[in-house]
């Protein structure tokens, strides 16, 4: 992620304080400190794998969207009407 390299460059090369980096990026000081201490090249976020509530209906929804895409502009149903 390029933001991580920008933060490191500002802090180490340009000697910008963490509070100023906080103002420029909108990140918290704790997050900036964590990025400066880590040796990671890219920021990784832990996202748990969980099923979607729409998974049981995915086939039916994709079929509806395929049929609607084949219709003319005036004949299509809106998302509200499909819902």
Q: Say yes or no to pLDDT of 11 above 90.
A: yes
In a shared domain, residues 58 and 33: no
Residue 43 within a domain: no
Q: What is the count of structural domains for the chain?
A: 2
What is the pLDDT, as a whole number, of residue 65?
86
H or E stretch including 76? none
Global confidence as pTM: 0.49
How do residues 23-82 score in pLDDT, each as one tens digit?
A: 999 999 999 999 899 877 776 778 889 998 989 999 998 898 888 888 888 888 877 887
Handedness of CA 66, 69, 74, 80 (dihedral sign): positive
pLDDT of residue 38: 85
Residues whose CB is less than 8 angstroms from the CB of residue 1 and which lie 6 or more positions away in sequence, other chains included: 42, 43
Let me know if residue 70 belongs to a domain: yes
Position 1 confidence tier, pLDDT thresholds 50, 70, 90: low
46 found inside a domain? no
Q: Would residue 42 count as lying in a domain?
A: no
**Could you tell me if residue 30 is inside a domain?**
yes
* Predicted confidence (pLDDT) per residue in 38-50, tens digit: 877 776 778 889 9
**Domain containing residue 62:** 51-82
The CA distances from residue 6 to 12, 16, 22, 35, 40, in Å, are 10, 11, 12, 11, 14
Q: 71 in a domain, yes or no? A: yes
Do the beta carbons of residue 6 and residue 43 sit within 8 Å? no
């Amino acid at each position: 992620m390029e933001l991580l390299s920008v933060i490191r460059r500002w802090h180490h090369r340009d000697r910008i304080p963490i509070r100023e980096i906080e103002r420029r990026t909108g990140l918290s000081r704790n997050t900036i400190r964590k990025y400066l201490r880590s040796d990671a090249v890219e920021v990784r976020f832990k996202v748990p794998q969980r099923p979607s509530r729409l998974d049981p209906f995915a086939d039916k929804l994709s079929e509806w969207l395929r049929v609607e895409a084949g219709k003319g502009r005036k004949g299509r149903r809106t998302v509200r009407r499909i819902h």
